[in-house]
Amino acid sequence: MPNHKILIVEDEEAIAHVMESILSANGYTPLPARTGGQALTLATVHNPDLILLDLGLPDIDGIEVLRHIRQWGQTPVLVVSARDQEKQKVEALDLGANDYITKPFGSSELLARIRAALRQRAGALDSSAAPPEQYSSGGLTVDFDKRQVRVDGLDIHLTQIEYKIVEFLARQPGRVLTHDAIMVYVWGPYLTDDNKILRVNMANIRRKLEKNPAEPRYIQTEMGVGYRIADEDN
């Protein structure tokens, strides 16, 4: 495994030390920053492979740190946030954050999110790679060329709108996509409705894809934020 450098922007010492220990034990090189100013300096000097960004920093708001980072690069950024900061998480995702991790978090979740973001980065850096022809995870397949969706080999009939929602999610597996991002992609920027139309379509999609729509396997709801489709099979 490459020795990826990961910038940890976290001002709470206990959480920062836990994250550093997890990363070091799994072959990553942690770069600690306790303030937004330090984070921007380290990001410029070391060009990390990924950034773990807390939103509540003592000097610069985490949203502003992300805004600065996105002005000059596309380094994967995983927001680390408390549950009561949904509006900030949505704003961060819309500004270009790749994902978010809710405090408190487990080491397995942290590492899984990091691996997913690094895989996305590797694919983006490989300019010779052709766009994916298919998404596949746990029996669900989406064939982008044929616009075909199957579950355990059985064809699933989706409406045009339902397919666009599934396709948008499937082209970015493991990544949280906000309600607004999905609605703009599917219906365009001038839709003035709230999330009701999206929630109705998602309920229909789950009835068609899931064995138990109340406990979805493929498309997870990120409360107050958006949706995430399961990561692809390795």
**pLDDT tens digits, 46-56:** 999 999 999 98
**Comma-separated ranges of CATH 3.40.50.2300 domains in the chain:** 5-125
Q: What secondary structure does DSSP assign to 133-188, as a single string?
A: SEEEETTEEEETTTTEEEETTEEE---HHHHHHHHHHHTSTT--EEHHHHHHHHH-
Q: What percent of the chain has pLDDT over 90?
A: 60
Going by their DSSP bridges, the two strands 219-222 and 226-229 should be labelled as antiparallel
Going by their DSSP bridges, the two strands 134-137 and 140-143 should be labelled as antiparallel
What pLDDT score does 28 carry?
95
pLDDT band at 164 (very low <50, low <70, confident <90, very high): very high
Average pLDDT over the chain, rounded to an integer? 89
CATH class, 5-125 region: alpha beta
Cβ-proximal residues to 179 (8 Å cutoff; 6+ apart), any chain: 90, 195, 198, 225, 226, 227
CATH assignment, 134-229? 1.10.10.10
Range with the poorest average pLDDT among 99-108, 138-147, 203-212:
99-108
**Comma-separated ranges of CATH 1.10.10.10 domains in the chain:** 134-229
What pLDDT score does 192 carry?
63
Count Cα neighbours of 153 within 13 Å in the Cβ-side half-sphere: 0
